[in-house]
Structure 1
Amino acid sequence: MSVKRIAFGTIITLLFLVGCKDKTEKKTSKEPQTDAIQDTTQTVEVVPNEGELEEEFKLNEENSIQFFFDYQKGLKENKVKLTTSMGSFTVQLYDNVPYHKANFIYLTREGYFDGTQFHRIVKDFIIQGGNADDDETADKRRKLGRYLLPPDTRKGYKHHRGTISMPSSEINNPHKLASPYEFFIVVTKPGSYHLDGGFTPFGKVIQGMDVVDKINKVAVGKGDWPQQNVYIEKAEVLQ
Structure 2
Amino acid sequence: MKIRYLILFSLVSMLSCTSKYNDNNRYIKILTDEGDIVVKLYNETPRHTENFIKLTEQNFFDGLIFHRVIKDFVVQGGDPETKNAEQGKLYGEKDAGYLIDAEIIDTIYHKRGVIAMAREGDDVNPEKKSSSSQFYLVVGKVFSDEELNELEVNLNKKLREKTVEKLYDSLLIDSKNLNQKSISQVTQKVNILADSILKVKHIKFNENQRKIYTSVGGIPHLDGNYTVFGEIVSGYEVVEKISSVQTDSNDRPLKDIKFKVHLVK
TM-score in terms of structure 2 length:
0.56
Query: After superposition, where does 1:74-113 map in structure 2 within 5 Å?
Result: 78-113=26-61
Aligned-partner SS, 1:160: coil
**Maintained 8 Å contact 1:164/1:204:** yes
Distance 2:140 2:124 in 1: 29
> Residue 119 of structure 2 aligns with which residue?
168
> Residue 185 of structure 1 aligns with which residue?
137
Query: Offset at 1:129?
Result: 1.1
Q: CA 1:151 to 1:123, structure 2 compared with 1: closer, same or farther past 3 Å?
A: same
**Maintained 8 Å contact 1:93/1:202:** yes
Aligned-partner SS, 1:224: coil
Distance 2:114 2:129 in 1: 19
Distance 1:88 1:116 in 2: 15
**Maintained 8 Å contact 1:77/1:238:** no
The reply to whether residue 235 of structure 1 matches residue 187 of structure 2 is no
Listed one character per residue, the Cα deviations across residues 12-67 of structure 1 (whole Å, up to 9, x for unaligned) are xxxxxxxxxxxxxxxxxxxxxxxxxxxxxxxxxxxxxxxxxxxxxxxxxxxxxxxx
Higher relative contact order, structure no. (Cα contacts within 8 Å, ≥ 6 residues apart):
2
Q: 2:103 aligns with which of 152, 169, 183?
A: 152
> Residue 207 of structure 1 aligns with which residue?
234
Q: Unaligned regions of 5+ residues in structure 2, if any?
A: 1-23, 86-93, 142-216
Listed one character per residue, the Cα deviations across residues 104-156 of structure 1 (whole Å, up to 9, x for unaligned) are 1111110000011111001111100112544769xxxx9x9621011111251
**Maintained 8 Å contact 2:68/2:253:** yes
Distance 1:77 1:219 in 2: 35
**Maintained 8 Å contact 1:160/1:191:** yes
Aligned-partner SS, 2:109: coil
Query: Offset at 1:218?
Result: 0.8
**Maintained 8 Å contact 1:94/1:203:** yes
Aligned-partner SS, 1:212: helix
Distance 1:203 1:235 in 2: 14
Distance 2:25 2:43 in 1: 9
**Maintained 8 Å contact 2:80/2:96:** no
Q: CA 1:134 to 1:91, structure 2 compared with 1: closer, same or farther past 3 Å?
A: closer
1:218 is matched by which residue type in structure 2? V
Distance 1:127 1:145 in 2: 19
Query: Offset at 1:169?
Result: 2.8
Distance 1:132 1:86 in 2: 20
The reply to whether residue 121 of structure 1 matches residue 69 of structure 2 is yes
Task: Using the aligned pairs only, state the percent identity.
Answer: 36
Distance 1:120 1:145 in 2: 18
Query: Offset at 1:222?
Result: 1.7
> Residue 9 of structure 2 aligns with which residue?
none
Query: Offset at 1:177?
Result: 1.0
Distance 2:32 2:117 in 1: 19
**Maintained 8 Å contact 1:115/1:231:** yes
Structure exhibiting the larger radius of gyration computed from Cα positions: 1
Distance 2:83 2:236 in 1: 30
RMSD across aligned positions (CA): 2.3
**Maintained 8 Å contact 1:100/1:202:** yes
Q: CA 1:145 to 1:87, structure 2 compared with 1: closer, same or farther past 3 Å?
A: closer
Q: CA 1:213 to 1:133, structure 2 compared with 1: closer, same or farther past 3 Å?
A: same
Distance 1:206 1:145 in 2: 26
